[in-house]
Amino acid sequence: MSRRQFTAPTRGSSEPPDDTGCTVLHVDMDAFYASASLISRPELRGRPVIIGGASGRSVVLSATYEARAFGVTSAMPMARAQRLCPQAVIIEPDHRRYAAISEAVMATFATITDSVEPLSLDEAFLDVAGAVRRLGRPTQIAEQLRDTIADEQGITCSVGVASTKFVAKLASNLAKPDGLIVVPRDEVVSFLHQLPVGAIWGVGDKTEEHLHRLGLRTVADLAHTPVETLQRALGDVSGRSLHDLAWGRDPRSVVPERREKSIGADETFAHDIDDPVRIHRELLRLADRTAARARSAGMTGRTVSIKVRFADFTTITRAKTLRHHTDVSRDIFATARELYDRLGLQRARIRLVGVRLEGLVPSSVAPIQATLDEPEHGWREADRAVDRASARFGAGSVRPASLMPDRPSGSQRERRDLS
């Protein structure tokens, strides 16, 4: 069965898709980091662009679809990406911009429904059952979301509309880029059975290879294999789960507002370093980025941790829990530096350092406590002034004085991750 049968018709069509009972939406921004980066570089639209550090030891954060056509994928080593697509333009990540756009997108979701389950900065599940009477059918709500995000944020998204989370996520992936696919409730099985087994959520490369060795190449093949056979081959839980999904059975509901457990930033150096002054500067920069991300997310944390990876790839972590929650750059850096200095490293060759804020709670739950050495207007107010300047003039427009000189040539792009 072709994809076209599940694609929503153009506006004004007299035959909209049957979305009865299809109240689960999966909304996914298209090449989010690349699209957001091109907002200020419109002359690069339509060209292959890679987001990441230029150093050969960095990895690809994202790439435009033009670059993906050459085989460039996220998490690929930058050196390999440049070999695959030497004509690509490389742009450094702008994490403050990504966080600001993500926050605005999530706020748009919140105007539609309270049942929003974010999966990452750029995608979420929505249950719009309670919004249908107010805003129209699920397909209309999906189109409204796509229009609003495009108009207000300058990026596109793809949406899957279905009766379950599993099918909605599959549909949004097939709709990319900038598309919308509705899978009618009574056509779920025929929709699924045309797909390769690798399309099923949770089937990785190794599982797909194992299924292929069993002669199972389509979801239909999987569905018509006795569940006992799958359990013997894949284990009781995985075998049963894949069999249920192959028949469109997915009882999971949308779980609103899954909060990050921690926020942090890592730095991998292009060359191993042993200079404590440079390590301190990197800790300051990473603490500043981590704190900014926490404030953008409306979160504070009590535990600061650092990660240090040596030249032989040995990795250690250290953490300290503070008396009060914080999202203040100065507090996070002071703790990170203390943790690092306690290690007593003498000229150790270091490959990576990272800073992380853990034990997160909403800022409204744990207000920031002032400290005795705090100036009249407070360090947090200074941080927020930096946030406003960065939002207006771009990331890095205001930074600590010790970070003003040119960054060391050996440093690579900063990588941020959430867990």
Q: Which two tokens stand for residue 170?
A: 């599959």
Of the pLDDT bands very low, low, confident and very high (cuts 50, 70, 90), residue 206 is confident
Of the pLDDT bands very low, low, confident and very high (cuts 50, 70, 90), residue 261 is confident
Question: What are the tens digits of pLDDT across the range 363-410?
Answer: 766 555 544 444 434 555 655 555 555 555 454 544 555 554 544 444
- Mean pLDDT over 222-229 rounds to 93
Question: What are the tens digits of pLDDT across the range 95-133?
Answer: 888 888 988 999 999 999 999 999 888 999 999 999 999
Question: What are the tens digits of pLDDT across the range 14-56?
Answer: 567 899 999 999 999 999 999 999 999 999 999 999 999 877 6
SS3 state of residue 134: helix
Q: Which residues of 388-407 are buried (b: 16+ CB within 10 A; e: fewer)?
A: eebeeeebeeeeeeeeeeee
The Cα–Cα gap between 294 and 93 comes to 18
- pLDDT over 60 (residue 8): no
Q: Which of 6-15, 138-147, 244-253, 346-355 has the lowest mean pLDDT?
A: 6-15
The Cα–Cα gap between 334 and 7 comes to 54
- Mean pLDDT over 239-255 rounds to 92
Given this structure, which CATH class describes domain 262-418?
alpha beta
- The pLDDT, as a whole number, for residue 374 is 46
Amino acid at 208: E
- The pLDDT, as a whole number, for residue 388 is 57
Q: Which residues 6+ apart lie within 8 Å of 302 measured at CB?
A: 321, 322, 324, 325, 326, 358, 359, 366
Cβ count near 313 (within 10 Å): 8
Cis amide prior to 251 (ω within 30 degrees)? no
Task: Check the annotation: does 122 bind a ligand.
Answer: yes
Amino acid at 289: R
Give percent of the chain with pLDDT exceeding 70.
81
**Residue 303 bridge partners (DSSP):** 321, 358
Domain 194-246 in CATH 1.10.150.20: yes
Q: Where are the domains of the chain?
A: 33-94, 194-246, 262-418
- The pLDDT, as a whole number, for residue 10 is 37
Q: Fold for 33-94, please state it.
A: MutS, DNA mismatch repair protein, domain I (3.40.1170)
Task: Check the annotation: does 327 bind a ligand.
Answer: no
**Which helix (H) or strand (E) segment is 302 a member of?**
strand 299-310
Exposed, middle or buried by CB within 10 Å (0-12, 13-18, 19+), for 65? middle
Question: What are the tens digits of pLDDT across the range 139-182?
Answer: 999 999 999 999 999 999 999 999 999 999 999 999 999 999 99
The Cα–Cα gap between 238 and 271 comes to 42
Whether 123 is a known active-site residue: answer yes
The Cα–Cα gap between 388 and 118 comes to 25
- The pLDDT, as a whole number, for residue 16 is 72
The Cα–Cα gap between 413 and 53 comes to 4
DSSP state of 12: T
The Cα–Cα gap between 174 and 164 comes to 16
- pLDDT over 80 (residue 306): yes
CATH topology agreement for domains 194-246 and 262-418: no
Of the pLDDT bands very low, low, confident and very high (cuts 50, 70, 90), residue 299 is confident
The Cα–Cα gap between 50 and 39 comes to 14
**Residue 25 bridge partners (DSSP):** 126, 161
The Cα–Cα gap between 90 and 88 comes to 6
Q: What is the DSSP string of 321-358?
A: EEEEEE--HHHHHHHHHHHHHHT--SS--EEEEEEEEE
Q: Which two tokens stand for residue 156?
A: 């596109």
Closest CA to 128 of 152, 151, 109: 109
For the chain, the straight-line distance linking the first and the last C-alpha, in angstroms and rounded, comes to 38
**Annotated catalytic residue: which of 92, 103, 117, 123?**
123
Amino acid at 373: D
